[in-house]
Homo-oligomer: A and B are copies of this chain.
Amino acid sequence: MSEKVLAYLNENRDRLLGKLNEFLAIPSVSTDSEFKKDVDQAADFIVTYLNDIGFEKVEKQETGGHPLVYAEYNGAGADAPTVLFYGHYDVQPVDPLELWESDPFKPEVRDERLYARGASDDKGQVFMHLAVFEAFMNTESSLPLNVKVCIEGEEEIGSENLYDILQGKKDQFQADFAVISDSGMIAKNQPTILYGLKGFTGIEITVSGPDHDLHSGMYGGAVRNPIMALNHILASMKNTDEVITVEGFYDGAEPLSEEERKLIAEVKGEDYKEAAGVKETASEKGYTAKEHTMARPTFEINGIYGGYQGEGTKTIIPSSATAKITCRLVPGQDPGNIQQKLEEHIKKVTPSGVTVEVKKEKLSAKAYKVEPNHPLIEKAAKSYTKAFGKETVYVRMGGSIPVVEWIDDIYGIPIVLLGFGTPDDRLHSPNESFPLDSFDKGMETLVYYWNEVNSK
């Protein structure tokens, strides 16, 4: 039954890649309001696609922010299971643009990789699903299971409206299980099922001092420098042993069992040094880099700015300085509580002569662990192995997918994280790419899986 579908994908490969390129060429950067129209156009692309292949009730739902694309396929009948397929069509900003070797919105193949912003995260992986749906519809005239499609345009800005929609439209989105392809394999061609994801929270700290930039000669020695004050605050939050020194930060965090440490040690992960281009890794004292990344909380400064940043020198004491911080959490940590503790710590250590403002990110998600031996997950692993010719491994990862926690929270259904990205995809960075053979094998996996799901 899979053969015809796979043959279709093979015969139509060039045309499908052409369609994917069209999709990737739309600069759907959700964080920047300048791209609002483009984000909308990316939603329209999916709407048209789903209509063309025969999905029903295709809707571009208004969310208050960027639209969400919803659609249904009900042709498999009342006895067949229904999957909620989630993905996102928005992408990260592209700066620094000068580091891209080709235009991020003019997809280009080099060394059997497709280079474009969103090639891996998540437009490329969303498109694999669309193409597989098309292949079933154009060969079998049906899909082996019922489908509800939920593809949002706000993932990269924290899925601001998604929770309310999932919560408010339970009848519409209700399904038997969910499938998400917005993650990666631990190594190229190594089928990987994520059984744990980290939670997520963030804050932005702004330290304000003088009400205007001051001449450093006239006022140096008389006022607190907001950049230095910010440095003192931040340096007090994590030490050089990579231990987070915010009081209570680790409270309740599920400890890493010896058994799990062994499991993590056995996973043949990527070479962090090579992938990141660093001479040495740095991880929490007492934990390996793999353990820290997969299963210990993190605290990262994502950006900092203040004062003069141009060419040459400007001898000022700036009026303010800002840092953006995000944390990845493990089971047992509550995002709101973490934000609270960060804020309390900051208020406590802020020196006199400056004021501090802590903006709390709206986005937050608890960490998530799924049950790896659920039949739907075992079937996914089997399909994965069949397509890639290699045993599937089960891992925890450092990334956060808030929607996973929300679907769990609202629907309580099993969630299958079928990711096809590779460690070299450079998500969120210049020169994002996706291997063409992962595109092929990923679609093959999906074809097997949809057939497998409805088999006894």
Residue positions of A touching B, CB distance < 8 A: 31-33, 92-93, 95, 99, 157-158, 184, 198, 200, 202, 209-225, 227-228, 230-232, 234-236, 238, 240, 242, 272, 275-284, 287, 289-294, 296, 298, 300-318, 321-324, 326, 328, 351-354, 361, 363, 397-400, 423, 426-431
Check A220–B398 contact: CB distance below 8 A: yes
Check A309–B303 contact: CB distance below 8 A: yes
Q: Which residues of B contact A431 (CB under 8 A)?
A: 212
Q: Give 11 A-B pairs besides A157-B312, A221-B398 with Cβ atoms closer than 8 angstroms.
A: A31-B313, A184-B218, A212-B277, A219-B276, A222-B282, A222-B292, A230-B231, A231-B231, A302-B314, A303-B309, A315-B326
Check B314–A276 contact: CB distance below 8 A: no
Check B296–A318 contact: CB distance below 8 A: no
State how many copies of this chain the complex holds.
Answer: 2
Q: Which residues of B contact A308 (CB under 8 A)?
A: 93, 95, 302-303, 324
Q: Which residues of B contact A31 (CB under 8 A)?
A: 310-314
Check A212–B326 contact: CB distance below 8 A: no
Least Cβ–Cβ distance between A418 and chain B, in angstroms: 17
Whether A240 contacts B231 in the complex (CB less than 8 A), given A361-B313, A400-B217, comes out as no
Check A305–B302 contact: CB distance below 8 A: no
Least Cβ–Cβ distance between A65 and chain B, in angstroms: 12
Check B232–A232 contact: CB distance below 8 A: no
A280 CA / B355 CA spacing, docked (Å): 11
A431 CA / B230 CA spacing, docked (Å): 26
Residue in B33, B220, B313, B399 whose CB lies within 8 Å of A218: B399
Check A353–B430 contact: CB distance below 8 A: no
Whether A321 contacts B302 in the complex (CB less than 8 A), given A220-B293, A398-B217, comes out as no
Residue in B93, B238, B293, B307 whose CB lies within 8 Å of A301: B307
Residue in B290, B309, B399 whose CB lies within 8 Å of A222: B290
A213 CA / B397 CA spacing, docked (Å): 18
